[in-house]
Structure 1
Amino acid sequence: MNNKNKGILLILISSLFGAITLTLIKLGGNIPVYEKSFLRNVCTIMISFYALKKANDNAFGKKGSRKILILRAICGTLSVWTSYYAISHMIIANATVLTKLSPIITIVFASIFLKERIKNIHIVAFIIAFVGVIFVVNPTGGHYDILPSLMAIGSAFLAAGVATCLRFLRGKESANTIVFFYAFVSMISSVPLMLIHFKIPTISEFLILLLSGLSSTVTQFSITKAYKYAKASEISIYNYSSIIFITILGYLVWGTIPSEGSFLGYILIVIGAIIIFLIKNKE
């Protein structure tokens, strides 16, 4: 198996375990999102700390990178909180698709903060994806509150912020440092809110949330390894396989089937992402 195929396989594994993580988070019951985030990060911190020490990497990064590491951690934490709220209050497949707008939004952020040029074809991709969002959210359908949809879209914006930070940190910090720093900041920032809104989980909820932490750790490390084997421009589009996985899991666990309009929205959002992917790949 060549390196590109290894990268694709790892991206698919990451997408599958990402879908499993979200399913477990939704199964975690009415536990506050901060508490879910805390329990998820416990596993990530332990495993990433072991990897950090084994590779002899700096846990808190270089002085020149620390501000961006902090910004990445804050954006990542808020992205997780908003996405957890969204999947807890709407069809999980719809929430997942809306968070997948982040690669398209990243182009805008890269233009603003990294001075990368936006082309006309980018604008076409934005418009197609925006129409897809309208179909998924269906603001006039009355199927659910608009707030969870806005939270999912907000999560996509925050995830785009994460991607922009990671592009800046590329070559400056190791993956072990980035993963550990994020998990550490995310867990610490969850504590005050978790204590205010603390709810004692049942044994089953506690075990489910710990499993979500293990699943999330597999997701993070598999996607990190994937980009070591192949360029993002070659394999990132396979991240969208998570839409298939989460739709299947949503049907198997809750028996939910997205509407025809939602499926059309999925297609349009993915088309927008494919256009961005092809442009980046060509470049």
Structure 2
Amino acid sequence: MVKSKYKAVFYIVLSAFCFALMGLFVSASGDLPTMQKVFFRNFFALFIAIVSLKKSGTKFEIGDKKNHAVLFVRAFGGTIGMVGNFYALGKMNLSDALMLNKMSPFFVIVFSFIFLKEKLTPFQALTVAGAFIGSLFIIKPSFSNVELFPAICGFLGGMGAGLAYTCVRYLGQHGVKGPVIVAYFSAFSSLFALPFLIIQYKPMTLVQFLMLLGAGISAAGGQFSITAAYSHAPAKEISVYDYSQLIFSTILGVIFLNQFPDKWSFVGYVIIITMAVLVFVYNNFLHVENEKKQ
């Protein structure tokens, strides 16, 4: 049991590094249209997902009509979330954009309450409110802030990702396999971005093409790593380690992009991570103790 948890922590930290690397590649790809970045990132990931499906012998089975509808919402929400995240990555500091995307676990709590009818405790509501306050320190809402619109897009990207992860939770509970979800999402997002790609296509240098190839490969690595992590331990026991992505993205941003987060962003980081740690402690210790007393 302990070894299994260690493996889970290793895989989730590995996924955090992969996603931070994906963010670096997307940022380093330059001033390409956002939809062009989205298309190539997902096209490469789709190829990897198809190969994985064939090698594992997993059948592309979705199940009943409700699963089809939820899978569509997962793909649509995930795609909108990615568009917001990628736009923010092109306009903001790497660590700021990725931290706004890390609002997704808190949106999972909200959307699970709304759509899955899961109980929302006062404590969870408090942490969601706290995380939102933390995000405001990163967004810095004022008309003089030139990064306000990209920051709002990054925040909405985290909301879209939260909706997508809520759907993934439902689909996992109803027998839809992880590789099927990844393949469906990659195909949907590629097709969604294709018309924009055709209309707005901008010729790429070899370096830009390689950056987007790297984004696709590292994103696929992140998806498969996080799937492996949650197969070894419940989300509530390891999800807090996903915030190691902030450390990786900050280091990568400083080394390769010469980006330094300002003091208010760091305040936002501390608040959001503190809320995540409180949720972790509550899920693994306080909530368990309360259940034992009952």
After superposition, the C-alpha distances for 1:57-110 in whole angstroms (9 at most, x for unaligned) are 233522432111111111111111110001111111111111111111111111
Matches within 5 A, 1:74-93: 74-93=76-95
The one-letter code sitting in structure 2 at the alignment partner of 1:54 is: K
How many Å separate the matches in 2 of 1:257 and 1:143?
A: 17
TM-score (normalised: structure 2): 0.92
Match of 2:248 in 1: 245
Please give the root-mean-square deviation of Cα atoms over the aligned residues, in Å: 1.5
How many Å separate the matches in 1 of 2:125 and 2:27?
A: 34
Match of 1:130 in 2: 132
Matches within 5 A, 1:1-283: 2-59=3-60, 61-64=62-65, 65-140=67-142, 142-171=144-173, 172-281=175-284, 282=287
- Structure 1 residues not aligned, in runs of 5+: none
Q: Which one is further off, 118-127 or 210-219?
A: 118-127
Structure 1 residue runs of 4 or more that deviate by more than 6 Å after TM superposition: none
After superposition, the C-alpha distances for 1:200-257 in whole angstroms (9 at most, x for unaligned) are 1111111111111111111111111111111111111111000111011111112221
How many Å separate the matches in 1 of 2:132 and 2:41?
A: 32
**Secondary structure of the corresponding residue to residue 260 of structure 2:** coil
How many Å separate the matches in 2 of 1:258 and 1:145?
A: 13
How many Å separate the matches in 2 of 1:193 and 1:276?
A: 39
Q: Which one is further off, 90-99 or 120-129?
A: 120-129
**Secondary structure of the corresponding residue to residue 178 of structure 1:** helix
Deviation (angstroms), 1:266: 0.4
Deviation (angstroms), 1:279: 2.8
Asked if 1 retains the 8 angstrom alpha-carbon contact of 2:142 and 2:148, the reply is no
**Secondary structure of the corresponding residue to residue 30 of structure 2:** coil
Q: Which one is further off, 31-40 or 60-69?
A: 60-69
Report how many aligned residue pairs link the two structures: 283
After superposition, the C-alpha distances for 1:22-48 in whole angstroms (9 at most, x for unaligned) are 000011111111111111122211221
How many Å separate the matches in 1 of 2:138 and 2:255?
A: 21
How many Å separate the matches in 2 of 1:33 and 1:140?
A: 24
TM-score (normalised: structure 1): 0.95
Q: Which one is further off, 218-227 or 30-39?
A: 30-39
Asked if 2 retains the 8 angstrom alpha-carbon contact of 1:18 and 1:219, the reply is yes
Asked if 1 retains the 8 angstrom alpha-carbon contact of 2:61 and 2:176, the reply is no
Asked if 2 retains the 8 angstrom alpha-carbon contact of 1:59 and 1:180, the reply is no
**Secondary structure of the corresponding residue to residue 257 of structure 1:** coil
How many Å separate the matches in 2 of 1:51 and 1:67?
A: 24
The one-letter code sitting in structure 1 at the alignment partner of 2:75 is: A
Asked if 2 retains the 8 angstrom alpha-carbon contact of 1:90 and 1:144, the reply is no
Asked if 1 retains the 8 angstrom alpha-carbon contact of 2:102 and 2:158, the reply is yes
- Structure 2 residues not aligned, in runs of 5+: 289-294
The one-letter code sitting in structure 2 at the alignment partner of 1:42 is: F
Deviation (angstroms), 1:141: 8.7
Deviation (angstroms), 1:199: 0.8
Deviation (angstroms), 1:131: 2.1
- Identity over aligned pairs, percent: 32
**Secondary structure of the corresponding residue to residue 202 of structure 2:** coil
